[in-house]
A and B are shown apart, each in its own frame.
Chain A
Amino acid sequence: MKISFTINGQDQTVEVADPYTPLLWVVRDILDLKGTKFGCGKAACGACTLHVNGEAVRSCSYAVKFAEGAQVTTIEGLGTKENPHPVQQAWKDQVVPQCGYCQPGFMMATAALLEKIPNPTDEDIDQNIINVCRCGTYYRMRKAIHQAAELANNSTKE
């Protein structure tokens, strides 16, 4: 089965035998975008979070057929080293990552949160950011989320 969608601004058509193949594996192994991580395969840890039409989804539990015609964004398309997304800039400024494995999922979840709630309260963060980080970087993440909100709001004002 052929499925076409836009990923990080580029049109792609992939061919899979099983239309229920999780989008995660299409992104990682067919499109070779390794920034989206496999953590549990059960939509529990959030390491595979990416955006489909601007909404955060856990791609290990997202059949690729649902992506037909959709706009998909992964961490590679969120921002670049030269032009980072406010979330990435804040993540750098706060030196958030330790092992780094869960971080793309957290950054994607955060970017989606800021789209919905530009100035999230601590409660908003607690409710929406429920990925799992084993190194325990939550403390810095919270600071980074607040900073990212500021950066994003400032850039909108300009």
Chain B
Amino acid sequence: MAGKKKISRRKFLVRGGLGTVGVMAVGTVLFRNPLRRTIMDFAETAPPMYSGSGTEPQLWFELTKDNKVLFHSPKVEMGQGSFTSFAQMIADEMHLRMDQVEVIAAETATGVVDGLSTGGSLSVAGLWQPLRELAATMRMMLIKEAASQSGQEVSSLTAEEGYVTAGNQSWSYAEIASKVEKWEVPHTPELKELKSYKHIGKPVPRVDLDAKVFGDPIFGLDAQKEGMVHAAVIRPSVVGAKYKSYTSTGVESMPGFVQVVEGENWVAVLADSYPEALMAETKLEVEWDIPKKWSEEDLQDMLQVGKGKRMITQKEGSALDDDEEGVVSLSFSSPMGAHAQIEPNGALAYFDDKGLTVVLSTQVPGITRTQLSDAMDMKEEQINVVPTFLGGGFGRRLDTSHAIIAAQLAKAAGKPVKYQFSRKEEFQHDTFRPPTYHTVKGKLNAEGYLDSLEHHYASGDVSANSAIALANTATKILGTDIGAMRGGNVMYNGIPNHRAVQWHTTLPFATSWWRSLGLLANTFAIESFVDEMALKAKKNPVEFRTQVLGDEGMHGRLKKVIERAAEVGAYSDTFTNGRAMGFAASTDTNVPSAHVVEVSIEEGQIVVHKVTCVLDCGVAVNPDQVRAQCEGSIIMGMSASLFERMTLRDGELFPTIYGPYRMALMKHAPKEIVVDLVQGADIPLPVGEPPLGPIAAAIGNAIRRLTGERLTDIPLQENLDQLLA
């Protein structure tokens, strides 16, 4: 795996002359990993890695005149804080101050494009080894050059804060680099010990903090180009509808009108400004071919345990016989969910003598480029995809098919075109979190612990039919939707008989990755059931879990996290002041997490007062940002658990606006969140999604103790409303 190998000397390439004088560019190609290994990675059995796609050396670092390092990141920043962690790694291994490192997303034309995506919480974890090695190698190269330029011994030189020093002489990195004609690439030096890092492991402020606090134009929709026109695109509101034709009711005479463009399943109006495009758009009457109006009932018929493609994803011991005495079975469900990221999708596209440039918020710059290349019949080298900061990712930016529409519009108009989704378009053309159904069964042994536990779950596509070819391929090879599988297997290895069975169905509209994928719903089902069995057995739910966990490896780490959460959160089965506690745990991408929540019901509303979250994320490169990810996961997870639901109404996906699509607001956020980090591994592990796992189950488990009622259906507030009605 990546972490153990050194970067090959032969694969270093040094280029000069990029940009201004004194710019140094160093590129490398990391070896590629066997497909299967990466699949295994996805299937959460191995530590994560970086998977570079380039076969050509590409730009990683630039050393700028003002003696700063500009890192062209193969991963994008969508809020997860990875740019900050990258800067910490670079600063530590290149001997720089934090303010001497800048991070930008690499453009596909010049930078290294990650073959996977930014997602799966793998950015920091994946680049942990290669990025530090690159940075350390860069430092060595600079020292060697300084040595040869000054005629001194390498051993007599030291590097600190961007300067190489020999006695009372010193040279800035930029100064050294500017004199280099041909770089000599040394062996990668030994990396430092964890404890000797100055930046790694410290809660340094985010590197993008100023840009985000003062409103800098850093997002996809902030992009602009001289002479651009704006597009409003009409796409079908009814699922499965096909574009037939349009009739103008006076669009030509609307202010700012430029032209109408028809596409494969859309018609667009171009205008001088976006509001003009929006108004002009109302002067088109569009005819659609509607083969069928899908209903909620249709979906429920298609998607249920026992229907679709069956795959056993876990099998240990024997299967339960439903007729056996003492077998308990409960059913659970979760609804379709929208990403609802605040920055709508969109893209700026333009052609010039170099080819096509598309600027957008994307989690998959490489895939965006490939898709553009196919659709526009252009070579990939003629296309530059420029990823910006993302106004939220959460899996939504894995599908960037709108980049093609923008490019087609720019071609048709012969001008730069900026295309921004309306919010309705955003809600109706999302790639939703699929609805899920679950049946969980179990049986206690004579001592009152779980003897059998089975999770049967039905889900729409998550990784199947994904834009990420690797995920799609993996789904085909393994016969399992590996995204829907996240959190679906039983993590309690001490239960003698346990299994998980997946039923997979592709729905008539796109469903895909949504932060943590199947984890939230799967954990809700399993951990609610486990809690119910603990109550049945009259056991403390913490001990009920740890009793069936081994001490080794992943299971041992989970056990520690559970014990720690119970301790830090002071878990108790008794409750006071109308508040009850709920406990739940999950494991995702090798990262165990456990929550203790304190919940009450006020005027019928579920109120979450406090959440204690314990996470074993290995090395926390930036503990403050790991905490931020835990807080965010908890609140976004609460939003989905308590409130959110997309439905089909008269063949259309509904709602199409915030408000009716009910989400957690400030008033719903817990007043107290305690995050406790456990370091159970000596590498950083994913943090952006795992702590989202336990939240729904933990809240449900608290409600069970408050009311005696078991909530089995997300959104929980709706479920409670029904019970109270």
A residues bordering B, Cβ < 8 Å? 17-18, 21-22, 25, 29-30, 32-42, 44-45, 47, 74-76, 79-81, 84, 88, 91-92, 95-104, 107, 122, 125-127, 129-142
Contact = CB atoms under 8 A, between A and B. Distances in A.
A104 B646 CA distance: 28
Contacts of B665: 126, 130, 132, 138
Which among B209, B422, B628 has the highest number of chain A CB atoms within 10 Å?
B628
Nearest to A40: B423
Interface in B209-228: 209-219, 221-222, 224
B216 A95 contact: no
A139 B206 CA distance: 17
A125 B636 CA distance: 19
A140 B212 contact: no
B522 to A, nearest CB: 21
Interface stretch (B6-14, B260-268, B459-467, B669-677): B669-677
A16 to B, nearest CB: 8
Given A25-B275, A92-B205, 19 more contacts: A21-B275, A30-B273, A34-B215, A35-B215, A36-B215, A37-B219, A42-B658, A44-B658, A76-B215, A91-B213, A92-B213, A98-B79, A99-B78, A101-B219, A133-B342, A134-B341, A136-B633, A137-B631, A142-B666
A25 B279 CA distance: 13
B71 interface: no
B255 interface: yes
Contacts of A129: 666
A95 B209 contact: yes
Contacts of B215: 33-36, 74-76, 104
Nearest to A39: B342
A130 B666 CA distance: 6
Contacts of B214: 35, 75-76, 79-81, 84, 88
B697 interface: no
A142 B658 contact: no
Contacts of A99: 78-79, 341-343, 389-393
Nearest to B222: A34
Given A74-B215, A95-B624, A98-B79, A44 B657 contact: yes
A137 to B, nearest CB: 7
Interface in B245-286: 255-256, 273-276, 278-279
A31 to B, nearest CB: 12
A95 B636 contact: no
B394 interface: yes
Contacts of A91: 213
B632 interface: yes
B58 interface: no
B628 A81 contact: no
Which among B208, B218, B394, B669 has the highest number of chain A CB atoms within 10 Å?
B669
Contacts of A34: 215-217, 219, 222
B213 A97 contact: yes
Contacts of B423: 39-42, 44
A101 B342 contact: yes
A33 to B, nearest CB: 8
Contact of A100 (B274, B391, B666, B671): B391
B659 interface: yes
Closest CB pairs A-B (n = 10): A35-B215, A136-B635, A101-B391, A99-B79, A100-B212, A98-B79, A126-B667, A138-B669, A75-B215, A34-B217
Nearest to A128: B666
B389 A38 contact: no
B339 to A, nearest CB: 8
B601 interface: no
B584 interface: no
B213 A107 contact: yes
A105 to B, nearest CB: 9
Contacts of A104: 215
Interface in B136-150: none
A102 B215 CA distance: 10
A97 B344 contact: no
A74 to B, nearest CB: 7
Contacts of B670: 139
Given A34-B222, A47-B342, A95 B669 contact: no
Contacts of A75: 214-215
Contacts of B663: 132, 134
A98 B209 contact: no
Contact of B658 (A32, A33, A132, A137): A132
A107 B393 CA distance: 22
A129 B384 CA distance: 40
Interface in B592-626: 624-625
A114 to B, nearest CB: 15
Interface string B363-399: 0000000000000000000000000011111100000
A66 B624 CA distance: 43
Given A34-B215, A40-B423, A98-B80, A138 B206 contact: no
Contacts of B668: 138
B556 to A, nearest CB: 30
B686 interface: no
A139 B205 contact: no
B534 interface: no
B64 interface: no
Given A134-B392, A135-B636, A136-B634, A97 B666 contact: no
Nearest to B639: A136
Given A38-B221, A104-B215, A95 B342 contact: no
Contacts of A134: 339-342, 392, 394, 636, 663
Contacts of A36: 215
Contacts of B274: 25, 29
Contacts of A107: 213
A140 B628 contact: yes
Given A81-B214, A136-B633, A136-B636, A38 B344 contact: yes
A37 B342 contact: yes
A100 to B, nearest CB: 3
Given A47-B342, A136-B631, A97 B273 contact: no
Given A25-B274, A98-B81, A99-B79, A136 B209 contact: no
B590 interface: no
A103 B57 CA distance: 37
A132 B342 contact: yes
A76 B210 CA distance: 12
B213 A37 contact: no
B468 interface: no
A100 B634 contact: no
B348 to A, nearest CB: 12
Contact of A38 (B79, B279, B420, B658): B420
